[in-house]
Chain A
Amino acid sequence: MLAQKKSSPFLMGYRLYVVAFFIFLAAPLISAGAFAFNDSLFPALPWQGFTLDWFFSDTEPKLGMFHDRRLLQGLYYSFVIAIFVAMLSVFVGTTNAFLFVRGEFPGKNFFYILMVVPLVIPGVILGISILVLASDTANYMENRFDLELEFLRPGLLLVVFGQFSFITTITSLVITARLKKFDATMEEAAFNLGASRVRVLRTVTLPFLRPAMIAAGIVAFLVSFENFNTTLFLVGSEAPLTITMYDRMAKVGSTPVLNAVSFVLMVGSGLLALLSIAIQRDKTSQ
């Protein structure tokens, strides 16, 4: 298993296996991206020549993604949802980090496990349970007080809450890990120099946490952007991109415009992921 000696046939085989694995990883992504540039009405071989029509053409039957109103709307809603989820979950993730690293209170271990639990609940369950509670509350208010609480019906707000419910665990874990590495003498030094609590937090502790907060925000943004399971049950008329694409796939079948969207999303999230890694790396060199 371990290949103590270099360049043994065993190690060669091992390397081949690793290469095969990465081909397996890349294959569906390449096929999803590459057919965006095929000049054909179907995302399939044979290759009919290079085109950018599936991005920029403004006429049917090859309506490009940048002229497809429903896809653009989906992209817009995904953005709005992901930004709200990222901000909310980074905020709560930061307070959670302080709570569990600095706070001393009874039942701390129990609450810590409670914080991790949302990550191991299937997304479908989170979606339906929030849908049930919100609808029950809305129905109750309607029957009892004749109040119509529109925001508790499926829509953007519920989608944001549904995604926030488990993404906060991820951001909390990332920021907690960073806060644990904080050297408390830095704060003490600032206190000794006469700084107030708020000032120490603003000028010493938060700057130290910033790389982790940004990285957690990017992760939250990406996870929100690609979420499907939780969103599926909470979505109203404002469908985010994954739901719009799924609808398109189910109703129209696969068309190369979906490949174009896939290509754009892959490039976009790839860049964001690299950015978050660059920030994390910066952090370790500090």
Chain B
Amino acid sequence: MMQNKDIKRLSLILLFSPFALWILLLIILPHIGMVLLSFREKVAPRVYEYSFANYLDFINEPIYWNTLLRTGSMSLLVTALALLIGFPIAYYIAKIAGPRARGGLFLLCLIPLWVSDLIRSFGWILLLRETGVISNFLLWTGLIGEPVEFLYNDIAVIIGLVYTVILFMIVPLVSTLDGMDNSMIEAGYNLGGNGFTVLRRIIIPYAMPGIVAGCIVTFMLTAGSYLTPVLLGGKNSSWFTEQIYNQFITRFNWEGGAAFGMLLLLFTSVVIWLGLKLSGQTLANTVAKS
């Protein structure tokens, strides 16, 4: 009996060590290192002091916090659009399509997921730019008289971002709606509800874990995206990750870059935390389940 207990303990330790090494060395320690670096100020070559200088820089320079606010608000907009556009699609796949079409449609949804961000953005560039497919098509139909540039503006960035993240919204939605019993919807109708009340009182509450999971992943991916805003927005995309990149790689100001990274992390964490609180969900029953 004693021996059995020892074996259990030993195997628990053996199983825990890869997990601990992974989380400690690649997640916790790097983040502590980044926090420490962000509070460091270069006062002379090779001489550093702890201070809030990097954060003060951020507050004193309107370009920086404007960029963060812009990134945040555009990410919220993209998340909302992805939910609005994606929910009917997920509902169609889970509840309306026949059993055979369902698998096929779900597959079709997943295929762009396996293509890199870069290729998706590249595709949009070829469609939207002045010499691109859409401009040419509109010229051919005579709707426009000369080539139009659809690229390098906020709308292009939003289209590209919604496109990039919408699959992460649809997949958790389909899996929660799939688990919903059709008789719940029928009961709603039988009790005299119309389409809208059934949607509001039965379907949406049921799908809430999926909605929250989709929104969290979508928001996080959007706020942390780099390629899509840079490639589709051009020089004036002013996305916050671009600022982090500039600090790190172009200006070689690692202290500033670390502070910006912390701010982005704090900002997205606060938004996600608020979202979880407002919807009464937890991380474990939303993201972990999808």
Contacts and interface: CB of A to CB of B under 8 A. Distances in A.
B76 interface: no
Contacts of A190: none
Interface residues of A, number: 89
B265 A121 contact: yes
Q: Which of B112, B132, B224, B241 has the most chain A CB atoms inside 10 A of its CB?
A: B224
Contact of A118 (B7, B27, B113): B27
Contacts of A42: 131
Interface stretch (A15-23, A59-67, A206-214): A15-23
Interface in A232-286: 232-233, 242, 245-246, 249, 254, 258-259, 262, 265-266, 269-270, 272-274, 277
A27 B264 CA distance: 32
A32 B123 contact: yes
A31 B27 contact: no
B261 A125 contact: yes
B196 A1 contact: yes
Contacts of B257: 128
B123 A123 contact: no
A164 interface: yes
B253 interface: no
Nearest to B255: A132
A172 to B, nearest CB: 9
A265 B111 CA distance: 12
Interface stretch (A48-56, A92-100, A181-189): A92-100
A232 B117 CA distance: 13
The list of the 3 closest CB pairs from A to B, nearest first, reads A122-B224, A28-B123, A226-B116
Given A2-B185, A130-B26, A164-B26, A25 B116 contact: no
Nearest to A44: B131
A223 B243 CA distance: 25
A105 interface: yes
A217 interface: no
Interface string B30-49: 11011001000000000000
B126 A254 contact: yes
Contacts of B124: 28
Range, interface on chain B: 35 or more
Q: Which of B29, B111, B122 has the most chain A CB atoms inside 10 A of its CB?
A: B122
A229 B88 CA distance: 30
Contacts of B217: 119-120
Contacts of A145: none
B27 A117 contact: yes
A164 B26 CA distance: 9
20 contacts: A1-B195, A2-B185, A18-B92, A28-B120, A29-B123, A30-B123, A45-B133, A98-B15, A112-B284, A114-B27, A115-B23, A120-B220, A122-B241, A124-B245, A128-B244, A132-B34, A162-B26, A164-B26, A226-B115, A273-B110
Q: Which of B113, B241, B272, B288 has the most chain A CB atoms inside 10 A of its CB?
A: B288
A141 B181 CA distance: 60
Contacts of B231: 249
Interface of A: 1-4, 11, 14, 17-18, 21-22, 24-32, 35, 42-46, 91-92, 95-96, 98-99, 102-103, 105, 109, 111-126, 128-133, 136, 161-162, 164-165, 168, 173, 197, 222, 225-229, 232-233, 242, 245-246, 249, 254, 258-259, 262, 265-266, 269-270, 272-274, 277
A242 B131 contact: no
Contacts of A46: 136
Nearest to A261: B119
A145 B266 CA distance: 36
Contacts of A92: 18-19, 22
Q: Which of B115, B117, B231, B283 has the most chain A CB atoms inside 10 A of its CB?
A: B115
A265 B133 contact: no
A232 B245 contact: yes
Contacts of B264: 122, 124-125
